[in-house]
Each structure stands twice: as C-alpha cells, then as structure tokens.
Amino acid sequence: MTKQAKLLTVLSGIAMLLILYLFFTSTPVVIKQTNYQVAKKTPAAEAPINLVKLEADYKANVKKALLDYDQILVAAGLDAEDSLFNDETNFVAGDHEMLAIDLAELKISLMDLRVPAEFRDLHVDLVLSLSYLKQALENQDDLARAEGLTMLRGARSEYSWLSE
C-alpha cells in the first residue's frame, strides 16, 4: 500500500469513528409546546372611544384637508381642479413637481387620521383620488386625472358636509 492509500484509510477510519461517536452520544432535541396567552394592550382597550368626538374630529380634519387641497391648487396658480388641463383634456405645460409633492404630503396627512366606520369608503376615495391626481401630474396621465377628479367630485357630492 502506498502512503496516500494508508493515509486515506486512516482518515476514513477516524471519520467513521467520529460519526459513530456522535450518533451514540447525541440526544434528541425536545421542544416543549406551550400555549402562552399574551394580553394585548391596545389603545381601544385602555379607554373607550367617544364615537361622536371621533366623527366630529374626522369631519373637521377632512374639511381642512380639502381646504388645503384647494389652497395647494391656488398656490400653484391653478384656480380649479380642471385647470390642470386645457380644454382639449391635455396637460397644461409646466412643471408640477411641487404640486405633486404637496399632494403626496396631503395624502399622508389624510392617511394618519382615525376614521369612523361610516366614513371608511369616503376616506378610501379621498386617498385614492389624491394618489390618482399625483400620478396624473407626475406622468401627465389623462386617465389618472379623470379618475382622481371623478372620485373627488363624487365624494364632495355624496357627503354634503365636505362643501360646507
């Protein structure tokens, strides 16, 4: 036998002994299953929600957001929602990057509000309409503009308190 064959045989034997040693000395791992009952503390559990105050706060905040929306348009030199476009429903030339940023910030402030259950659909429509309008400004997308304005007009007509 050559030196390499002897070395290979010795190393194989040592490896086999190591495997047998680990096999016979190891113990199975046992994981105990426990059913922990974690008490979740939520703000709702700590104090009852005053639904009347929540509704009044929500209405005031949404009215302010829509007023801010109108002011954003005026600050950008636009006096109405439709003035983002000319009569042929094409975009007015110009850079509306700051307007898109303002709309994004307004959308984020709307998303931070606590929403009463009866106004969930309204809230989704308002947030989506701002998203569509921002997308319309960034991409000069006529379909997004039409969808955003339709949703916004629908919300204002369905909820008369928005226009008060």
Q: In terms of Cα–Cα distance, which of 26, 103, 30 is closest to 71?
A: 103
pLDDT digits (tens, 9 = 90+) for 129-155: 888 888 887 887 788 888 888 888 888
The tokens describing 137, both together, are: 């400004």
Distance between CA atoms of residues 9 and 5, nearest Å: 6
Where is average pLDDT lowest: 42-46, 59-63, 132-136, 144-148? 42-46
Q: Which ranges of 76-159 does DSSP label H, i.e. alpha helix?
A: 97-111, 120-139, 142-158
